[in-house]
Amino acid sequence: MTDCVYAPARRFCDMVLGNLGIETTYYDPTIGAGIEELIKPNTTLIYTESPGSQTMEMQDIPAIVAIAHKHGALVLFDNTWATGLFFRPLDLGVDICVQACTKYVVGHSDVMLGAVTVQEHVWERLHEAFENLGQCVGPDDLYLGLRGLRTMSVRLARHMTSALDIAQWLEQREEVESVLHPGLPSNPGHDIWKRDFKGSSGLFSLVLKPTSKESVMAFLDALSLFGMGYSWGGYESLCVSFDPSSYRKVMSWDKERRGLRLHIGLEDVDDLKADLDRGFQALKNTV
């Protein structure tokens, strides 16, 4: 399991699977082919997510797939960030693709929906599992997912261009230490993103220069267009603070580093910049 995985997936591994006697080993998402050193005789699945949750690390998926298949293991990829429009993991040999369709597929933040897509050799096992677990989707939820699919390509194009614009703007802010967006040439994972992906979405993070917790709270309180919420992927912009220091097991994160995760929605870019500027002014007034 990649150490930058979406936190609820980590809890599922540690608590649910752990209670069933299933062992999880966490790995550095940038390990690439070096993951071979971690594979054990009982390794059956390698879980990948790129870019990583919150800290946006890019993974070398073709390299990991090659090693996994060499040892008879499956590879699972969480494709929520890019969707099938901007990244096609099954084309690179991934066996299982999961996606939180609550995000960009639905696009309006009004339904819970998920999808699992697999290679043919995995289908029978998946079919058996979802029938035995009774994991079926209601018709109204599917209708709203279909509604979102009709506009997803148009929305994602807007999310991408607006997010890149704001990410580049944030790189120039004196309050910002770094912007974590794989679409930026300054990002360590940019070459992998450029090689494997066709685009980027509206979600990325930034790290503030050293500041107090109170100043971050003032920043968030000053925002009016950015809401505070976790379920990104809708039409509205969101901003939340994050601190992964307490649950990362392989990667280190200084708890004094103040991270903010942004989702850039469909609002006017200049309006969003003005809103963020108000936040930065409040931050500086609180320091």
- pLDDT for 246 equals 84
pTM (global) more than 0.75 = yes
Tell me how far apart the alpha carbons of residues 9 and 276 are, in angstroms, rounded to a whole number: 31
Identify whether residues 54 and 164 lie together within a single domain: no
Summarised one tens digit per residue, pLDDT across range 198-219 is: 999 999 999 999 999 999 999 9
Residue among 287, 245, 240 nearest 263 (CA): 240
- pLDDT for 136 equals 86
Residue 120 dihedral angles phi and psi, to the nearest 5°: -60, -35
Domain count, the chain: 2
The low-confidence residues of the chain, meaning pLDDT below 50, are: none
Per-residue CA distances from 198 to 82, 84, 103, 156 (Å) = 9, 10, 19, 12
For residue 1, being part of any structural domain is answered with no
- pLDDT for 7 equals 87
- pLDDT for 287 equals 65
Identify whether residues 131 and 18 lie together within a single domain: yes
- pLDDT for 252 equals 84
Summarised one tens digit per residue, pLDDT across range 160-193 is: 999 999 999 999 999 999 999 999 999 999 999 9
For residue 256, being part of any structural domain is answered with yes
Identify whether residues 104 and 199 lie together within a single domain: no
- pLDDT for 17 equals 96
Tell me how far apart the alpha carbons of residues 17 and 171 are, in angstroms, rounded to a whole number: 41
What strands lie across the sheet with 45-49, from one edge to the other? 45-49, 74-78, 96-99, 115-118
What CATH number is attached to the domain comprising 221?
3.90.1150.10
Identify whether residues 110 and 230 lie together within a single domain: no
- Could you tell me the two tokens for 80? 């929520």
Q: Which residues form the domain of 44?
A: 7-149
Identify whether residues 105 and 217 lie together within a single domain: no
Identify whether residues 144 and 170 lie together within a single domain: no
Identify whether residues 141 and 222 lie together within a single domain: no
Identify whether residues 93 and 173 lie together within a single domain: no
Identify whether residues 211 and 249 lie together within a single domain: yes
Tell me how far apart the alpha carbons of residues 235 and 208 are, in angstroms, rounded to a whole number: 25
Identify whether residues 160 and 237 lie together within a single domain: yes
The residue among 134, 149, 164 that closes a domain is 149
What CATH number is attached to the domain comprising 39?
3.40.640.10
Crossing angle for the helix pair 269-286 and 213-222, nearest 10 degrees?
140
